[in-house]
């Protein structure tokens, strides 16, 4: 490999479109030019559908047949589009390799880890080496990503999400490429595991002087690893610059939206204040009367701590039977929620927080312990439970999945009204609930199907469905985790408004400490089925007592970036 | 009760990754229950359903009232029903399936004789169909929309729509009646005393048309299933990984897509073993192939209910046991089901 | 404020638009449309059979033509070993074959949908028992079971209908069950429960509408198999000998030696009719599947 002056990667006026039958071409990448120098680390940020993954795939010409590419994609100065198939196959994995989302389905489920890594080595065997040396190389690669060699004979399903991601990294390094492209390498991973994977990746890049292009929707994750960040929107580059500057002093409005989704804990500007960002979706523009846009941020108000608890959980235990073994998901948890109080239940995946929420809603029968509502134990008969569910409502994680895709907005919101046969005019109930959830004018939304709404609007329809029953309390399971950064604010602002205007309390389940900082009054930290720490937001997040809370706060990416 | 509306039923009913012992017990238990159900059905269908079994058994034959009464006594029909069932079970366990009226021989012996030819016929047909169907199916899927794909799926759909027995009749008309290339029925040429290789060749000669008939209908099903499975896998992320590694397209298919697509296909193939047996009944009837299917037809046209009852119980049991074996094979094939 | 009827009409308009869209997609599959058109012609001919070919002309005692006559102007498909017009029998046979096909499918779909939904919705012992029954019917050779049932019950059209219906529902139940499981794993079911909805609400409002498209596609595919099953049972001598059906025509062809004697006009037409009708049902079913279940598109 002779060093040349050409940059490791370069996109020159690249436009990529997808042909769709019966529809105009979808332009995913629109006239993008970028240079990535040798040894540089570049972060590509943007929301889903902004074209960042398409751009990455174009490097190895991995785009589907329905795509059309204009412009040049150069790897070490050589145009990828002009390569012969043979040359392209030789370049793949040896000059540039991709770390796919390993936690998802990027590993072949019926082959062992060893088989899959060896395959890459054997394909490019012209780089020398015997069968034994290749076996040794597998062990070496696994060592690089801190995996025991014994794991080589495991199948993907036997590995945890973090381990799969490490395997993906090891596989990408197999043929010593100069360029590594990491496509959302930590999405779907737990915060703690995410920190470990990012550590492994950035250490390898540093030690080997690799060129890294990392893709993420999370600016703080990119800032933790990359020197430079490029922000994309609708296929175009809207802003680029050094990570530090992008994160602390974003210039473009969209960058600010992305940055706001990951507030700096301890920053008073984002405490119980959610900047509402006007959504500029095409659908919003079609509305006959746009949502009144308030430039002023929404501020929450604190509940009265002297109130008696509205909901109370006493010594709750939930066991699951799994493969003949009992697993304790929730371990003697006691918890109180007051009227008009927003409580954040924070924990990693698998900490039992969702099981706790389902028990509170009467969707999961506890092994022992009680849930009390206004001082009375949860009813166990059908009628009593139905009445209870009018008072305590549920908002689920993924609004696209929690709405029946075939039901219109009207049907979705009216569902609860019909189940409970609320007195009065059904359409009036629905309209009122939609208005409360700020979907104005409500009649314009009646006939819409979920797929025609933005993510934020969908979540507001789910909230409207709950509000139609005039509940006194909401249980929200990761209400914004699956939403794009720009609509995260609008849903959180709505929760704060409902608290202020209707005195509606909420138990918000989240893995995101920033969200707790944004809207909660109190924080409860859950770890392995137990509550380990509880207190006001300021107290728990700024002065954590328990070692687990401290470790959680340590791995928050916005702090990672500030680490030396 | 209401609280338990949704139990944590996320675990599947076949415990994934559980120990082999538990898996065997679960699947074996299921197969055993199915076997019991076959035996119970085999008994009650012939005793409890409308009509007097003694009349049913003698239907189509000239019998006196005294003969019917003697038969009732012989069959134990005058005993209480539970007692009849117990004695039926006892006979069954001893391998005594009653006496055929047509052949005037033990049904058990007749079935034993028919077993070999049926296994030979369905086994050869299944083998050819699987190889042909799977190969064409994955190729069609990979070249989706091409002339090959469209002609192969079209042909498969036509064959799938053909009644097996009619296709047999046509083949018989053309290749046996018309050209005289193949014998018109049976398993060996009558009146000859062939041995060794000559016998094998003679049987193979008789086997061609029946196997061809079965294959035509069965391979089409396998082709469609395999094609659908491969198409399902074609959008998988791990194929992108394989391509990114620099793998040639045909290797992406044979090393990654096909092994994954085979697993759901194998399940569906196992589920169609019963259909294969159904095909055996008609094909053996058309070609007078001396197997269990032909026996069933004989039992049907006489009517010879002990024979019919016997073939039903044996046919069903074979399929149930085959399915059980197939489940075990599947467990070996899919690492996700293998115990870690 | 709009009138309270408006949301309902909005929903209705939505449904109409969706149905129109699906129809356009169905038409665009072409093979499905061809299948549907051919089936329409066959069904109309079958309905008109009494007008086109009076049943008296097929009465053995009144036929005037000779036996086993090859095709001619008077008898476009020749005559059978009793001197009856083959084309006339073919038309009358369509009535029986289609009647049995549709009725048996109705039985099969009713059982399959109900059992499949129950197996997917309930848990614990109920589910285990239902699953056992489904597995049994899935595994047991259905033709052999149908033979036993029709041999034991009194001969007749409805016996055949029941024999086919009772032995062919398991595959539908399996598909419906897996679809039910998929739907019930969706968060919107959890939401419906949290809103206070019970078993009936969840099954009726969410599961059944989601399962129906699959059942519809399965129905057309099952009619095809039922037509084949009917002909097979008739061929084995289990049909109603007093009625014309395509299966019984073939049975007669075999019994009278027409097949071996080379009277092709009596052997080919019934078989080809079966192939054509079954193929059309299959094409329509596959097109429906592709239209109603977008994840299957292109399969």
Using CA atoms, how far apart are residues C223 and C216, in angstroms rounded to an integer? 11
Same domain, A293 and A155: no
The predicted-structure confidence for B78-114, as pLDDT tens digits, reads as follows 777 788 788 888 888 887 877 887 788 888 889 888 8
Q: What is the mean pLDDT of residues A122-137?
A: 80
Residue A401 phi/psi, 5° resolution?
A: -90, -20
How far apart, in whole angstroms, are the C-alpha atoms of residue B314 and residue B316?
A: 5
Q: Does B315 touch chain C (CB under 8 A)?
A: yes
Give the integer Cα–Cα distance in Å for B70 and C170. Answer: 41
Question: Among A69-78, A321-330, A402-411, whose mean pLDDT is lowest?
Answer: A321-330
Q: What is the mean pLDDT of residues B40-64?
A: 67
Q: For the residues A195-204, what does the mean pLDDT come to? A: 86
Same-domain status, A380 and A480? yes
Tell me the CATH number at A451: 3.40.50.300
Residue C106 has pLDDT above 90, yes or no: yes
The residues near A315 (Cβ < 8 Å, ≥ 6 apart) are: A332, A333, A334, A368, A369, A370
Rounded average pLDDT over C4-13: 66
Sheet holding A473-477, edge to edge: A392-395, A473-477, A505-510, A342-346, A522-527, A530-536
Is residue A41 in some structural domain? no
Q: Where in the sequence is the domain holding A463, given as residue range(s)?
A: 309-554
Q: Last residue of some domain: A128, A148, A176?
A: A176
Q: Is the pLDDT of residue B338 over 70?
A: no
pLDDT at res. A157: 83
* Inside any domain, residue A534: yes
**A336 domain-assigned:** yes
pLDDT for the residue numbered C299: 38
Compute the distance between CA of residue A9 and CA of residue C40 in angstroms, rounded to an integer: 61
- Cα separation, A558 vs A262, whole angstroms: 7
Per-residue confidence (pLDDT) for residue B58, from 0 to 100: 62
Q: A154 and A276: one domain?
A: no
Q: Is residue A94 part of a domain?
A: no
Boundary-marking domain end, from A176, A203, A227:
A176
**CB proximity B13 to A under 8 Å:** no
Q: Which band of pLDDT confidence, cut at 50, 70 and 90, is reported for residue B186?
A: confident
The string of pLDDT tens digits covering residues A491-509 is: 888 888 888 888 889 999 9
Q: How far apart are CA A201 and CA A405, in angstroms?
A: 39
**Cα of A478 to nearest chain B Cα, Å:** 20
Q: For residue A276, is pLDDT > 90?
A: no
Mean pLDDT of chain B: 81
**Where is average pLDDT lowest: B153-167, C148-162, C163-177?**
C148-162
A417 close to A469: Cβ distance less than 8 angstroms:
yes
**Taking residues A231-235, what's their average pLDDT?**
90
How far is it, in rounded angstroms, from Cα A90 to Cα C270?
A: 60
Q: Does A365 touch chain B (CB under 8 A)?
A: yes
Say if the Cβ atoms of B3 and A365 lie within 8 Å.
Answer: yes
Are B18 and A382 inside 8 Å of each other by CB? Answer: no
Cβ count within 10 A of residue A430: 27
Q: Which of A93-102, A275-284, A554-563, C56-65 has the lowest mean pLDDT?
A: A275-284
Which has the minimum average pLDDT: A74-83, A136-145, B169-178, C182-191?
B169-178
The residue among C78, C26, C73, C39 whose CA lies nearest residue C294 is C26
Predicted local distance difference test score (pLDDT) of residue C5:
45
Answer whether A504's CB lies under 8 Å from A471's CB: yes
Query: What gap in Å lies between CA C127 and CA B13, rounded to an integer?
Result: 10
DSSP 8-state assignment for residue C153 = S
Higher pLDDT, A271 or A551: A551
DSSP A126: G
Of B237, B247, B256, the CB nearest to A104: B237
The dihedral region occupied by A77, where left means phi > 0, alpha psi between -120 and 50, and beta the remainder, is left
> Which tokens sit at A522?
């109190």
Q: Using alpha carbons, select from C52, C152, C170, C155 the residue that is nearest to residue C107.
A: C170
More confident: C161 or B335:
C161
Instruction: List the subunits that have 3+ CB pairs under 8 angstroms with C.
Output: A, B
Q: Could you give the CA distance from residue B108 to residue B98 in angstroms, rounded to a whole number?
A: 8
Query: In chain C, what are the domains?
Result: 24-56+78-296 (1.10.3720.10)
Using CA atoms, how far apart are residues B141 and C298, in angstroms rounded to an integer?
10
Contact (CB, 8 A) for C148 and C261: no
**Could you tell me how many residues make up chain B?**
340
Write down the pLDDT at residue A4: 54
| A448 within 8 A of A461, measured Cβ to Cβ | no
**Beta strands per DSSP E along A132-192:** 179-183
Asked if B334 contacts B263 with a C-beta cutoff of 8 angstroms, the reply is yes
Which of A176, A205, A234 lies at the terminal end of a domain, its last residue?
A: A176
Instruction: Report whether pLDDT(B340) > 60.
Output: no
Place of tokens 């076997």: B35
- Asked whether the beta carbons of residue B244 and residue A108 sit closer than 8 angstroms, the reply is no
> Quick one: A437 and A521 in the same domain?
yes
Three-class DSSP labels, chain B: CHHHHCCCCCCCCCCCCCCHHHHHHHHHHHHHHHHHHHHHHHHHHHHCCCCCHHHHHHCCCCCCHHHHHHHHHHHCCCCCHHHHHHHHHHHHHCCCCCECCCCCCEHHHHHHHHHHHHHHHHHHHHHHHHHHHHHHHHHHHHCCCCHHHHHHHHHHHHHHCCCHHHHHHHHHHHHHHHCCCCCCCCCCCCCCCCCHHHHHHHHHHHHHHHHHHHHHHHHHHHHHHHHHHHHHHHCCHHHHHHHHCCCCHHHHHHHHHHHHHHHHHHHHHHHCHHHHHHHHHHHHHHCCCCCHHHHHHHHHHCCCHHHHHHHHHHHHHHHHHHHHHHHHHHHHHCCCCCCC
Same structural domain for residues A413 and A528? yes
The per-residue pLDDT of chain C, averaged, comes to 83
Strands A236-242 and A309-322: unpaired
Any domain includes A104 = yes
Residue at A561 is within a domain: no
User: In terms of domains, do A332 and A284 share one?
Assistant: no
Mutate to test the interface with B, among A87, A119, A173 (most CBs of B within 10 A): A119
**Greater model confidence, B65 or B115:** B115
Which H helix or E strand runs over C170?
helix C170-184
Return the pLDDT at A451.
82
* Cβ(C58)–Cβ(C89) below 8 Å: yes
Same domain, A383 and A362: yes
Tell me, what's the pLDDT at A292?
A: 40
Identify whether A453 is part of a domain.
Answer: yes
pLDDT at position B9: 29
* B198 contacts chain C (CB < 8 A): no
Q: Are residues A411 and A320 in the same domain?
A: yes
| Token pair 């720009």: residue | A486
CB atoms within 10 A of CB B191: 5
**Residue A1 has what pLDDT?**
44
* pLDDT of res. C50: 83
Q: In the predicted model, what is the mean pLDDT of residues A270-278?
A: 62
The predicted structure's pLDDT at residue A181? 92
Paired strand residues for A307? none
Q: Which helix (H) or strand (E) holds A164?
A: helix A161-173
pTM: 0.80
Mean pLDDT calculated for residue range A139-159: 87
Number of domains in chain A: 3
pLDDT above 80 (res B68): no
Q: How far is A510 from chain B (nearest CA, A)?
A: 21
For C189, residues 6+ apart whose C-beta sits below 8 A from its C-beta are C183, C202, C206
Q: Identify the band that residue B337 occupies on the pLDDT scale cut at 50, 70 and 90.
A: low
Regarding whether A343 and A375 lie in a shared domain, the answer is yes
Tell me which of B49 and A559 has the higher pLDDT: B49
Q: Which residue has the higher pLDDT, A290 or C74?
A: C74
The tokens describing B73, both together, are 């006594």
Beta bridge partners of A70: A15
> Is residue B53 within 8 angstroms of chain C, CB to CB?
no
Query: How much of chain C exceeds pLDDT 90, in percent?
Result: 19
Closest Cβ–Cβ partner in A363, A404, A428 for C193:
A363
Beta bridge partners of A182: A99, A214
Burial class (CB in 10 A: 0-12, 13-18, 19+), B336: middle
The pLDDT value recorded for residue B159 is 92
Give the gap in angstroms from C-alpha A389 to the nearest C-alpha of chain C: 6
Bridge partners for A26 per DSSP: A18
Kindly state the average pLDDT of the residues B309-338.
83
CB C164 within 8 A of CB C233: yes
Q: Provide mean pLDDT across the span A241-267.
A: 82
d(CA A391, CA A373): 9
% of residues, chain C, pLDDT over 70? 93
CA dihedral sign, ordered A70, A73, A74, A79: negative
Which pLDDT tens digit goes with each residue over C11-51? 777 778 878 888 888 888 888 899 999 999 999 998 988 88
- One domain, residues A332 and A283: no
Cα gap A514→B253, rounded to integer Å:
45
Nearest chain B residue (CA) to C127: B13
Taking the C-alpha atoms of residue A96 and residue A201, their distance in angstroms, rounded to an integer, is: 15
Q: What percent of chain A has pLDDT over 90?
A: 18
Same domain, A352 and A395: yes
pLDDT at B12 (0 to 100): 34
Which two structure tokens, joined as six digits, stand for A23? 């529809």
From residue A476, alpha-carbon distances to A358, A455, A518, B133 in Å are 10, 16, 15, 50
pLDDT for A139 beyond 80: yes
pLDDT band at A280 (very low <50, low <70, confident <90, very high): very low
User: What tens digit of pLDDT does each residue of A456-483 get?
Assistant: 888 889 999 999 998 999 999 888 887 8
Nearest Cα of chain B lies from the Cα of C17 at a distance, in angstroms, of 30
Which chain A residues are closer than 8 Å to B243 by Cβ? Answer: 62, 92
> A414 and A511 in one domain?
yes
Among residues B113, A238, A446, which one has the least CA distance to residue C5? A446
Q: Is A163 among the domain residues? A: yes
| Cβ neighbour number for residue B127 with a 10 Å cutoff | 12
In B145-204, the residues whose Cβ lies within 8 Å of chain A are: none
Res. B11 pLDDT band, cuts 50 70 90: very low
| Cβ distance of A406 and C195 shorter than 8 Å | no
ipTM over 0.90: no
Sheet with strand A96-99: strands edge to edge: A96-99, A179-183, A211-216, A41-45, A228-233, A236-242
pLDDT for the residue B61? 61
The residue of A23, A427, A451, A462 whose CB has the most chain C CBs within 10 angstroms, and thus the best one to mutate to test that interface, is A427
Q: Is pLDDT of B8 > 90?
A: no
- Which C-chain residues 131-170 have CB contacts (< 8 A) with chain B? 131-132, 135-136, 138-145, 147-149, 151-154
pLDDT at A76 over 60: yes
Supply the mean pLDDT for chain A: 83
């Amino acid at each position: 490999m002779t060093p040349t002056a050409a940059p490791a990667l370069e996109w020159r006026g690249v436009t990529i479109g997808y042909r769709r039958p019966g529809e105009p071409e979808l332009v995913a990448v629109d006239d993008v030019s970028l240079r990535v120098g040798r040894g540089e680390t570049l972060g590509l940020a943007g929301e889903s559908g902004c074209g960042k993954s398409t751009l990455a795939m174009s490097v190895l010409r991995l785009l589907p047949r329905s795509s059309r590419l204009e412009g040049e994609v150069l790897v070490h100065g050589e145009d990828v589009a002009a390569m012969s198939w043979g040359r392209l196959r030789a370049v793949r994995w040896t000059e540039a390799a991709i770390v796919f989302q390993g936690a998802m389905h990027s590993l072949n489920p019926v082959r062992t880890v060893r088989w899959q890594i060896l395959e890459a080595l054997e394909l490019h065997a012209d780089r020398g080496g015997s069968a034994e040396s290749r076996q040794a190389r597998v062990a070496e690669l696994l060592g690089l990503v801190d995996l025991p060699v014994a794991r080589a004979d495991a199948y993907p399903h036997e590995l945890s999400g973090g381990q799969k991601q490490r395997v993906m990294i090891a596989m990408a390094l197999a043929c010593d490429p100069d360029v590594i492209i990491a496509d959302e390498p930590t999405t779907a991973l737990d915060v703690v595991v995410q920190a470990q994977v990012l550590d492994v990746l950035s250490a390898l890049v540093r030690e080997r002087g690799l060129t890294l292009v990392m893709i993420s929707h999370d600016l703080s994750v990119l800032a933790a690893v990359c020197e430079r960040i490029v922000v994309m929107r609708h296929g175009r580059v809207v802003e680029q610059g050094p990570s530090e500057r992008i994160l602390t002093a974003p210039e473009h409005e969209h960058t600010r939206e992305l940055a706001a989704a990951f507030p700096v804990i301890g920053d008073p500007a984002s405490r119980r204040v959610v900047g509402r960002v006007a959504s500029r979706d095409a659908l919003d523009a079609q509305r006959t009367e746009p949502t009144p846009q308030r430039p002023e941020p929404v501020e929450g108000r604190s509940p009265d701590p002297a109130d008696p608890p509205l909901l109370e959980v006493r010594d709750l235990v939930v066991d699951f039977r799994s493969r003949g073994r009992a697993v304790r998901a929730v371990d003697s948890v006691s918890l109180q929620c007051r009227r008009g109080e927003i409580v954040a239940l924070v924990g990693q995946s698998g900490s039992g927080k969702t099981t706790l929420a389902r028990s509170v809603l009467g969707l999961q029968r506890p092994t022992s312990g009680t849930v009390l509502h206004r001082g009375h134990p949860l009813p166990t008969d059908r009628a009593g439970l139905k009445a209870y569910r009018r008072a305590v409502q549920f908002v689920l994680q993924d609004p696209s999945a929690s709405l029946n895709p075939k039901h219109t907005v009207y049907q979705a919101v009216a569902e609860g009204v019909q189940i409970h046969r609320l007195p009065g005019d059904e359409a009036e109930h629905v309209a009122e609930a939609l208005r409360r959830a700020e979907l104005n004018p409500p009649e314009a939304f009646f006939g819409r199907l979920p797929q025609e709404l933005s993510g934020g609007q969908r979540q507001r329809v789910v909230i409207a469905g709950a509000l139609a029953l005039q509940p006194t309390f909401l249980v929200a399971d990761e209400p914004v985790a699956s939403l794009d950064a720009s609509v995260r604010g609008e849903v959180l602002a709505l929760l704060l408004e409902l608290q202020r205007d209707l005195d509606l309390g909420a138990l918000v389940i989240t893995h995101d400490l920033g969200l707790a900082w944004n809207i909660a009054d109190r924080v409860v930290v859950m770890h392995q089925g137990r509550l380990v720490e509880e207190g006001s937001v300021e107290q728990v997040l700024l002065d954590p007592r328990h070692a687990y809370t401290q470790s959680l706060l340590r791995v928050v990416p916005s702090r990672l970036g500030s680490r030396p | 009760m209401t609280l338990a509306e949704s139990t944590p039923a996320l675990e599947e009913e076949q415990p994934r990754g559980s120990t082999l012992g538990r898996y065997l017990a679960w699947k074996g238990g299921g197969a055993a229950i199915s076997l019991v159900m076959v035996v119970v059905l085999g008994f009650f269908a012939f005793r409890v359903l409308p009509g007097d079994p003694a009349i049913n058994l003698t239907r189509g034959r000239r019998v006196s009232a005294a003969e019917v009464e003697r038969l009732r006594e012989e069959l134990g029909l005058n005993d209480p029903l539970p007692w009849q069932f117990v004695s039926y079970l006892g006979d069954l366990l001893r391998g005594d399936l009653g006496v055929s009226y047509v052949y005037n021989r033990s049904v058990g012996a007749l079935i034993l004789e028919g077993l070999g030819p049926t296994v030979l016929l369905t086994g050869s047909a299944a083998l050819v169909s699987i190889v042909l169907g799977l190969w064409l199916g994955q190729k069609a899927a990979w070249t989706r929309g091409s002339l090959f794909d469209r002609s192969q799926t079209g042909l498969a759909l036509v064959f799938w729509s053909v009644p097996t027995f009619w296709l047999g009749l046509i083949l018989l008309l053309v290749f046996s009646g018309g050209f005289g290339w193949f014998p018109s029925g049976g398993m060996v040429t009558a009146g000859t005393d062939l041995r060794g290789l000559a016998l094998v060749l003679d049987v193979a000669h008789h086997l061609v048309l029946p196997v061809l008939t079965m294959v035509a209908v069965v391979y089409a099903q396998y082709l469609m299933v395999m094609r659908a499975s491969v198409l399902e896998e074609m959008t998988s992320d791990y194929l992108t990984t394989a391509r990114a590694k620099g793998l040639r397209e045909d290797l992406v298919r044979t090393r990654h897509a096909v092994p994954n697509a085979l697993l759901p296909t194998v399940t569906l193939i196992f589920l169609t073993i019963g259909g294969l047996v159904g095909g055996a009944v008609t094909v053996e009837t058309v070609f007078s192939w001396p197997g269990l299917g032909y026996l069933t037809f004989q039992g049907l046209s006489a009517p010879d209910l002990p024979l019919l009852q016997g073939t039903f119980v044996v046919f069903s049991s074979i399929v149930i046991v085959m399915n059980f074996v197939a489940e075990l094979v599947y467990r070996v094939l899919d690492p996700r089901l293998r115990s870690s | 404020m709009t009138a309270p009827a408006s949301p309902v009409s909005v929903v209705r308009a939505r449904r109409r638009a969706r149905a129109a869209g699906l129809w356009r997609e169905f038409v665009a599959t072409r093979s499905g449309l061809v299948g549907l058109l051919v089936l329409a012609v066959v069904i109309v001919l079958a309905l008109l059979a009494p007008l086109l070919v009076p049943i008296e002309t097929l009465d053995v005692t009144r036929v005037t033509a000779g036996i086993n006559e090859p095709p001619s102007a008077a008898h476009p498909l020749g005559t059978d070993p009793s001197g009856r017009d083959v084309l006339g029998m073919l038309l009358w046979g369509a009535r029986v074959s289609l009647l049995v096909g549709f009725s048996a499918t109705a039985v099969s779909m009713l059982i399959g949908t109900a059992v499949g939904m129950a197996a997917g919705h309930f848990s614990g012992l109920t589910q285990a028992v239902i699953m056992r029954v489904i597995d049994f019917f899935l595994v047991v050779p259905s033709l052999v079971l149908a033979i036993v049932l029709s041999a034991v019950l009194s001969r007749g059209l409805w016996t055949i209908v029941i024999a086919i219906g009772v032995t062919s529902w398991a595959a539908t139940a399996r598909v419906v069950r897996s679809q039910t499981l998929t739907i019930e794993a969706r968060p919107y079911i959890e939401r419906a429960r949290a809103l206070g909805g019970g078993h009936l609400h969840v099954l009726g409002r969410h599961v059944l509408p989601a399962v129906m498209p699959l059942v519809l596609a399965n129905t057309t595919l099952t009619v095809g198999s039922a037509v084949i099953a009917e002909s097979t049972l008739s061929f084995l001598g289990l049909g109603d000998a007093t009625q014309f059906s395509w299966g019984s025509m073939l049975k007669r062809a075999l019994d009278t030696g027409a097949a071996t004697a080379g009277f092709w006009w009596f052997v080919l037409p019934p078989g080809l009719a079966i192939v054509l009708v079954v193929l059309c049902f299959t094409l329509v079913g596959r097109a429906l599947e592709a239209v109603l279940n977008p994840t299957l598109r292109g399969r």
